[in-house]
Chains A and B, each alone.
Chain A
Amino acid sequence: MGRYIAYRLILTIFVLLGVSLVVFFMIRLIPGDPAQLLADQWATKEDIEQLRRDMGLDKPITVQYLIFMDRILHGDLGNSVITKVPVREEIAARFPYTLQLAVAGTVIAVVIGILAGTISAVKPFSIFDSTAMILSLLGVSTPAFWLGLMLILAFSVHLGWFPAMGARTARHLVLPSLTLGLLTAGVIARQSRSSMLQTLQEDYIVTARAKGLLERVVVYRHALKNALIPVVTIVGLQFGHLLGGTVLVESVFSWPGMGRLLVDAIFTRDYPIIQGAVLMFAMVFALVNLGVDLLYGLLDPRIGYE
């Protein structure tokens, strides 16, 4: 197990190297130049060139990459070319908010999703099943943006129960995490249902029933654990996505997370911030996936890691 983790972590380093290479060159290939965007009305050609020199963008692109890699190996992501603030600080200010939102959203999604999916599978084609599956279809297809605005309209503007914007208290977390949770629950519910339905057909379930076990015990003790493996994969993927910052939900709720940091940086072509944020996402995603793979072993001891 230890060897497996070490192996995966080493793989992650190569993934990050690849990501850094792609992101570094890609953002420089799209048109746009931070110096040009910042230059005010008085700036002449020389002024803009001076700005580019100040930003370190006048050097050949390969040299810039080597400088970037050299810094990264020293644990330095560089500074924003605009505000000159270290990228590390910018990310440290944002990531906790993203993590908060991702965890809260995932918890809501998992609780609703697995519960709804399991009950639907146990009583397939019942009223509950049809309702749950229609709702989950709605969840999958509703734009986050719209749901967020509707929640604000109902719970902030009309009822005044929860704040509409910002991330200052725990109450601020309710509406954005509910938005994320409701939308993600749909996928999880559908996955849980189909996986559970399949598991309930297995021979050992028939055996368990034949033994005269209570249906509750059959479903929750024997079936659920085995049905969860594909669900955990989906949850892991969704969680990874949420950790990448959820630009739309963050925008609607003025949530100061990573998604907005990245989008703002793209608009201003703040290359170091974009690079730092994308690398962070890649790393988090790789780690979440590793976590998911380790969870399989817990759910099914037959899965080994060698």
Chain B
Amino acid sequence: MARFVRLTALAILLVAVVVSGCAPAATPAPEPTPTEATPTTQAVATPTPQEAVPKKGGTLVISLGTDVPIFDSLYSSGIPNLGIILLVAEGLTRINPTGADPKVLPVLAESWEPSADGETWTFKLREGVTFHDGTPFNAEAVRFNIMDRMLNPDAKALAASAFKMIESVEVVDEYTVNITTNGPFAGLPAQLAYSPMAINSPTQVQKLGNEDYHTAPMGTGPFKFVHHIKGQEVLVEANEDYWGGAPYLDAIAMRPIPETASRLMALEAGESHVIYNVPPRDAQRYKDDPSLGIEVLTPPQQRTIFIGMNNKWGPLQDVRVRQALNYAVDQQAIIDNILLGLTQPMDSPLPPACACYQSTKNYAYDPDKAKQLLAEAGYADGFEATLHYGAGRFLLDSEVVEAVQSYLADVGVDVEVIPLEWAAFQATWKKPLEESEIQLFFVGWGNPTVDPDLGTYTYVEASWPPGLNAMFYSNPDLERLIPAQRAATDPVERCDIVEEIQEIIMEDVPQIFLYYEPQVHAKRTEANDVTISVTEQIDQMHKAWLDTE
């Protein structure tokens, strides 16, 4: 027996030795003092009273489905991931997390106003703020971050295209900058809230260079960067000198959990306090069973989910056909049965949280009207069409597509569903008109600035693929009105124009409007004042606190 054990051990050892030659010995990363979050019933029995006094201390663990690609907003992507970076490096402005008015709130900029011609915005900056490395935050830092980093072609910023309207940044005095755009741009304050435009310490960027800046980023945020262990953990610690008041938490750890089922279990086991993207059925389970000590978070939505129609293809060129398909699909039933009522039907091209949103028109389910419109258009017997989508990208997408397929079959439209992996779908979807094979496609559009500029610009001809307008939709009135809203720095005037835009789109129906993608997240009850914004990012985390002993 002893010999057997020795032999086995030898065999394993030998194999291990052969391979260990090509990699360093595996040492587990140091345990970064996790919060003791053994599930207790204490937090459950007594729901935190309204007047609860925040407690200091503790490490809050957040789990997204993906890791932060790299801890530098210049090269990172994924809106929720960028939200983690914003804990360290803030922007000039932020979007109101509740989606209410005012839509844009001050952060490092205290106030702003446009010039008479609308081409220059003057931003008054917050005084007395310093970066984590001690560098003072001022107008020059803003100029540096916009002109020398985001818009510097050598920096190869991923989101440079979102800021290309900026022509120059002028330092007026220590705490005032003038940002000039190539033509009036009413949405600039909202645009600057777009998270890649986080403000980083110029000293640190120059010291490390853009390639290495992610190893020791220095912002002005409520938390300071500690480490980023790839695929495992981002750790940030409280910035006691934060201008908005010291955070209650000692630290925040973001530990990605790609698998949904595992993410739910980590929450239930108390290993994570906050998790992103909870399937509606599990959200219902948490709501039904308070003894789990889990609270479901459903922040306002900003993403529109729809079936795009190729407006240049066959039957879909006829507006009556497009309207018919809208009447044919029961949005409310899809919302109630698949999404368990967690959202509302799409009744405007803009999400409800967006400035100038107007509930415009809802194509309530009416299959008879759909058939009648199809007959008028000469398709009484229906037609055949393909529907492409990127399976698994959006919440319960396969289920929704299947439901749409059956609704359309009811009015005689025979849909062949073609699921693709997301990257392959993108390649199919974003082909120019002459190469496009797209007829119907299921997709969602994010509106991270929750501003009508982005939400409407996707409907102009200039946004045809590789832009987002894969409906190949165009309307001469919109070609005039959409640039007009961009130039209208007077909010009332702008909303008048945006209202008209929404009406035209809802009448032309380039898409089958479905719903706004629900945000469904969850947190343990011991985690308090955790805000997830309409932008899908965590927000104001210096106010969050943990109620643990």
Chain A interface residues (CB < 8 Å from chain B): 30-33, 36-45, 47-48, 50-51, 54, 82-85, 90, 92-97, 99-100, 103, 106-107, 110-111, 114, 118, 149, 152-153, 156-157, 160, 163-170, 172-173, 216, 220-221, 224-225, 228, 232, 235-236, 239, 243, 251-254, 256-257, 260-261, 264, 267-269, 283-284, 287-288, 290-292, 294-295, 298
Partner of B229, one of A169, A256, A283: A256
Q: Is the CB of A51 within 8 A of B158?
A: yes
* Residue tally, chain B, CB below 8 Å to A: 82
Q: Is the CB of B28 within 8 A of A149?
A: no
Q: Is the CB of B424 within 8 A of A221?
A: no
Partner of A253, one of B11, B14, B262, B428: B262
Interface-lining segment among B133-141, B159-167, B358-366, B518-526: B159-167
6 closest A-B pairs (Cβ-Cβ)? A256-B231, A32-B423, A291-B18, A96-B26, A47-B161, A31-B427
Q: Is the CB of B466 within 8 A of A32?
A: no
Q: Is the CB of B19 within 8 A of A99?
A: yes
Chain B interface residues (CB < 8 Å from chain A): 1, 3-4, 7-8, 10-12, 14-32, 38-39, 63, 66, 69-70, 75-77, 156, 158-162, 164, 211, 214, 229-233, 255-259, 261-262, 265-266, 268-269, 271-272, 421-424, 426-428, 430, 445-448, 454, 457-458, 462, 466-468
- Interface SS of chain B: loop
How far, in whole Å, are A33 and B429 apart by their CA atoms in the complex? 12
Q: Is the CB of A41 within 8 A of B7?
A: no
Supply 11 further A-B pairs (C-beta < 8 A) apart from A224-B4, A228-B7: A36-B430, A40-B162, A44-B462, A103-B12, A157-B265, A165-B262, A166-B271, A267-B421, A287-B18, A287-B19, A291-B14
Q: Name the residue of chain A whose CB is nearest to the CB of B464.
A: A45
Q: Is the CB of A41 within 8 A of B424?
A: no
* Distance of B182 from chain A, by nearest CB (Å): 14
On chain A, the residues within 8 Å of B466 by CB distance are: 36, 39, 43-45, 48
Q: Is the CB of A100 within 8 A of B19?
A: no
How far, in whole Å, are A243 and B22 apart by their CA atoms in the complex? 12
On chain A, the residues within 8 Å of B229 by CB distance are: 93, 256
Partner of B262, one of A235, A254, A291, A295: A254
Q: Is the CB of A169 within 8 A of B75?
A: no
Q: Is the CB of B75 within 8 A of A83?
A: yes
Q: Is the CB of B24 within 8 A of A96?
A: yes
How far, in whole Å, are A51 and B159 apart by their CA atoms in the complex? 10
How far, in whole Å, are A172 and B3 apart by their CA atoms in the complex? 32
On chain B, the residues within 8 Å of A37 by CB distance are: 422-423, 426
* Distance of B536 from chain A, by nearest CB (Å): 14
On chain B, the residues within 8 Å of A235 by CB distance are: 11, 15
